Amino acid sequence: MLLLAALAAASSTVALGGCGAGADPGVEQVRVLRLNPSALVTKQARSEPVVRASLTASGSEAQLPPAMRVPQVGSLALGAPARGRLVNGLQLPARGPDWVTHDPVRRVIPNRGDRRWGTDRLLAFLLYVLRDYRLANPGAPPVVIGDLSRPRGGPFGSDFGGLGHASHQNGLDVDVYYPRVDRALAPPGDVSEVDRGLAQDLVNRFVAAGAQFAFVGLNVGLGGPPQIVQAIDHHDGHVHVRIANWRR
């Protein structure tokens, strides 16, 4: 009951803040999503609350690996992916049952904490697809995830290292590296290192789950519905997935 009460309290706080169009300082809170097998949602007394995801296995799915349930906390994707910000976002954990994160600038696992924030909807979408993909491809290694957005969104260009991102500004974008033929947990160095079967399956699943766009490379040989799966430069090592902003 205490946990449910905390969930209700957190939700109502977010809802009130959302009506204030972001002016309420309460809605500026950011939350760190952590794996926790027992708790649903807790709120720490400190200034920055921690939202805990639950690892659950129930009913007929009891034999399956646990799924991660992402709490819906009323994240707001303001503006546009190329000029926007993120309010009340969630941080993708550095690692999870189906993924690891990779820092594209330092080229290490995991990615830095301030590069992996998104809306609650993006994280739920992402983790659903990753789990589905792993269940359908037994033995496939965890998926390597790159940048999402900054903790409060905003510019994420070359000031933050590397080529930087024109978009990734309001918690709706995520870079997902293609699986490698050698199964290494690292970005593919070139298209010959991409496991195209697994990569296409991953792209297909993002499309089926409702991605607005999946930007793939010009040379990697991946496809899909042309209005969603679009080939552009600099994406031969990863697919950039964007979900629609339903609040707009």
Tell me which residues touch Zn ion (CB under 5 A). 175, 240
Backbone torsion region of residue 23, taken as left when φ is above 0, otherwise alpha when ψ lies between -120 and 50, otherwise beta: alpha
We find the least distance from the C-beta atom of residue 197 to Zn ion, in angstroms, to be 23
Can you count the helices (H) and strands (E) in the chain?
3, 14
We find the least distance from the C-beta atom of residue 211 to Zn ion, in angstroms, to be 13
Residue with tokens 């904490």: 113
Nearer to Zn ion, 175 or 195 (CB): 175
CA–CA separation, 147 vs 231, rounded Å? 19
**Pairing mode of beta strands 31-36, 90-91:** parallel
Nearer to Zn ion, 52 or 168 (CB): 168
CA–CA separation, 172 vs 212, rounded Å? 10
We find the least distance from the C-beta atom of residue 173 to Zn ion, in angstroms, to be 6
We find the least distance from the C-beta atom of residue 215 to Zn ion, in angstroms, to be 7
Nearer to Zn ion, 131 or 168 (CB): 168
Residue with tokens 């957190």: 10
We find the least distance from the C-beta atom of residue 241 to Zn ion, in angstroms, to be 8
Nearer to Zn ion, 6 or 214 (CB): 214
* Residues 152/115, Cβ–Cβ less than 8 Å: no
Nearer to Zn ion, 51 or 130 (CB): 130
